[in-house]
């Protein structure tokens, strides 16, 4: 974007006012140069280097930073200010590229996937229930404890439980497990209820 004689004077006038602290002049400078710089910068920042900021954000940051330090700009002819701003944007893009080289690679995360970790509430409830289960299990007889552990914790079939515990049939093991689970539930219920 080269400045015409009329535009050059207007830009120089805006610069003079902006250096004097005129916020309207700063806004006018931003509005004048931002669209062209966005078009120019578009595609110069590779997708792999983009983080939360896109190219438009980088242009805005570069312009704001430059406008805060207008005293560093020295006018050297037509198009000088635009070239100065373009260089500021290019420097900002280079900074992003350097940062991207030191950042670990990112992958997209499907936010619809269910989590596999227990929530803090599930952990707390689970821990309390586990403590109650362990305490109740300790109050069962050795034979009851053995069939509960075989079925609940080890996931053994009734046939496997019958063979492991010396019962004649899978049905006999099923009945022993059922009786032991009723006792376990009673023990957990009685000790798990708060008074009152």
Q: In terms of Cα–Cα distance, which of 42, 156, 23 is closest to 93?
A: 42
pLDDT digits (tens, 9 = 90+) for 57-76: 888 888 888 888 877 777 77
E-strand spans in 4-43?
none
Question: Which stretches of the chain drop beneath a pLDDT of 70?
Answer: 1-9, 43-53, 77-79, 100-127, 191-196
For 53-56, the CB contacts below 8 A with 24+ separation are 53/96, 55/93
Cα 16 to Cα 181: distance, rounded to the nearest angstrom: 87
Cα 162 to Cα 152: distance, rounded to the nearest angstrom: 15
3-class secondary-structure state, position 78: coil
pLDDT digits (tens, 9 = 90+) for 109-145: 555 555 556 555 556 556 677 788 888 889 999 899 8
């Amino acid at each position: 974007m080269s400045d015409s004689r009329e535009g050059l004077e207007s830009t120089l006038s805006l610069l003079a006012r902006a250096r004097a602290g005129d916020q309207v002049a700063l806004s006018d400078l931003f509005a004048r140069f931002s669209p062209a710089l966005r078009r120019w910068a578009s595609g110069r920042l590779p997708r792999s280097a983009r983080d939360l900021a896109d190219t438009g954000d980088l242009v805005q940051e570069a312009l704001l930073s430059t406008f805060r330090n207008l005293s560093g700009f020295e006018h050297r002819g037509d198009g000088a200010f635009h070239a100065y701003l373009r260089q500021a944007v290019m420097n900002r893009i280079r900074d992003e590229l350097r940062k991207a080289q030191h950042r670990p690679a990112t992958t997209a995360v499907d936010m619809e996937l269910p989590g596999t970790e227990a929530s803090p509430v599930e952990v707390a409830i689970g821990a309390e229930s586990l403590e109650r289960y362990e305490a109740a299990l300790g109050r069962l007889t050795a034979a009851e404890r053995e069939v509960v552990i075989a079925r609940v914790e080890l996931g053994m079939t009734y046939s496997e439980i019958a063979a492991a515990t010396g019962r004649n049939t899978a049905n006999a093991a099923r009945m022993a497990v059922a009786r032991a689970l009723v006792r376990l539930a009673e023990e957990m219920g009685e000790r798990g209820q708060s008074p009152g």
